[in-house]
Amino acid sequence: MAPPNKAQGPPPRATINGSRKVLTYRGHQWLRQRVVLSVLSGKSVKIEGIRADEVEIGLRGGTFTHTCPTSRGIGYFLEPLVVLGCFGKRAMEVTLDGITGEEGRDLSVDMIRTVTLPHLHLFGIEDGLELQIKKRGSAPLGGGRVVFRCPVVKSVKTLNFTSPGKIKRIRGISWSTRVSPQFANRMVDAARGVLNRYIPDIYLYTDVYKGEDSGKSPGYGLTLLSLSNTSALHSAETISVPTPSSTSGGPSGFDASSATAVGSTPRFQTPEELATHAARLLLDSIARGGCVDEAHQWLVLLMMVLGPEDVGRCRMGALTPFSVRFKIAPLDSPLAGNAVADSTADGEPASAVDGDDDASSSESEAEGRKVVMGMQVNEVKRSTAAADEDAQSSGIRNGKYRPKEFMVSCVGVGYGNINRSAA
């Protein structure tokens, strides 16, 4: 792939054979999402300028043997397969080798198994959906293996998820490879020391791997998730970071008592520090509100768009950047129940699809837009009394600060699997 000409600026859309439109993007941002949407929609995309300033430009990744490179975790490759597998010609079964969990980058296989896949249950995808961890492989050398199975479906269900409910239980997995088995127990005790003050129904499993099933590098981590009485999931995880000596020295070079730092972000190395940090991250995710945590907003939004031609709604807390722009109404707005997500990834202006009349649509468009967490948001006009009340409270309700929540809605495109054997 040739390096782009920086003087020309972002490339415009191109056409092939004079009729077929090709969406052209620059850079590696949202690469997986763009490829997934390209496959599902049948539209061609052209991506330029990936690592244009480096010697080895272009894509880097695994091979067709499904051996993932140690530069990225297995979760990086699993996330797009979770969506694509549902609409394939036949049921998918993929074996991936590599790093099963790495701090600060991709979702671990534990997070995908216990949190990502249950989100697909909201859309009616359950039977035959499975992720098995055959071997664990910590960074930097990997050596893990997972088997992912995904059924094919005819279509997905409409989501109407507006009540986060109350947290009723917390579960977690404490795992370790090529270190003392006591590391897993120490993480459980430290996490319970924080979480027991929040809720009594807590059960944390230990998963200790030894021998050939423990991969090539030492490591340990903790994955936590909370479940509400309305099936809302929030999650958090923390994984140990290998010291510089362990990248070449293997298990003998691992020092669990030392702490490293990448950039300005501290990395917690002792089991107690790691588990305490993970527990606090989970409580922070719960405090942000919503029915979906930040790590899985993209999945829920994408599946909502692929759903039937009906209005789907989901309540969310803090918004994360995504390649699709939505009209979003604050939860305390009288129009929150009718907010719509009606714009596509290419950024073209969208029309109202929630059934409002022309007057209300033109009024909301005229109010102007702002950007929240990288997403373009249409502000919704509110009554003076409500505005004054919010100004007085300054985000503090009942003596506690509550983050802003949003109601995100969209009308699905009615995407369906054309394979006759699909359920």
Give 135's pLDDT tier (boundaries 50, 70, 90): very high
Amino acid at 194: V
Q: How far is the C-alpha of 415 from the C-alpha of 421, rounded, in Å?
A: 16
Q: Is the pLDDT of residue 181 over 90?
A: yes
Tell me phi and psi for residue 76, to 5 degrees.
-60, -35
Please indicate, yes or no, if residue 113 is contained in any of the structural domains. no
Q: How far is the C-alpha of 145 from the C-alpha of 131, rounded, in Å?
A: 11
Token pair 């499993």: residue: 205
Please indicate, yes or no, if residue 351 is contained in any of the structural domains. yes
Give 75's pLDDT tier (boundaries 50, 70, 90): very high
Give me the domain span that covers residue 26: 6-48
Give 336's pLDDT tier (boundaries 50, 70, 90): very low
pTM greater than 0.85: no
Q: Is the pLDDT of residue 264 over 60?
A: no
The answer to whether 148 and 83 are in contact (CB under 8 A) is no
- From residue 257, alpha-carbon distances to 103, 188, 278 in Å are 17, 18, 18
Please indicate, yes or no, if residue 417 is contained in any of the structural domains. no
Would you call 5 exposed, middle or buried from its count of C-beta atoms within 10 A (0-12, 13-18, 19+)?
Answer: exposed
Q: How far is the C-alpha of 36 from the C-alpha of 104, rounded, in Å?
A: 23
Q: 128-147 burial by CB neighbour count: b if 16+ within 10 A, else e?
A: ebebebebbbbbbbbbbbbe
pLDDT score recorded for residue 44: 86
Token pair recorded at residue 132: 């098995």
Alpha helix (H) residue ranges in 250-355? 271-287, 297-305
| Lowest-confidence region among 147-161, 171-185, 190-204, 389-403 | 389-403
Give 272's pLDDT tier (boundaries 50, 70, 90): very high
Q: How far is the C-alpha of 15 from the C-alpha of 44, rounded, in Å?
A: 10
Please indicate, yes or no, if residue 130 is contained in any of the structural domains. no
Please indicate, yes or no, if residue 124 is contained in any of the structural domains. no
The better pLDDT of the pair 13, 130 is held by: 130
Q: How far is the C-alpha of 11 from the C-alpha of 21, rounded, in Å?
A: 14
The better pLDDT of the pair 117, 422 is held by: 117
Please indicate, yes or no, if residue 133 is contained in any of the structural domains. no
Q: Is the pLDDT of residue 356 over 50?
A: no
Residues whose CB is less than 8 angstroms from the CB of residue 268 and which lie 6 or more positions away in sequence, other chains included? 238, 240, 259, 274, 276, 277
Please indicate, yes or no, if residue 167 is contained in any of the structural domains. no
Give 58's pLDDT tier (boundaries 50, 70, 90): low
Please indicate, yes or no, if residue 228 is contained in any of the structural domains. no
Q: How far is the C-alpha of 195 from the C-alpha of 170, rounded, in Å?
A: 8
In tens, the pLDDT along 83-115 reads 888 888 788 889 999 999 999 889 999 999 999
Q: Bridge-partner residues for 22, per DSSP?
A: 14, 44
Q: Closest by alpha carbon to 118, among 223, 232, 282, 286?
A: 232
Q: Closest by alpha carbon to 408, among 377, 364, 367, 374?
A: 377
Instruction: Say how many domains are in the chain.
Output: 2
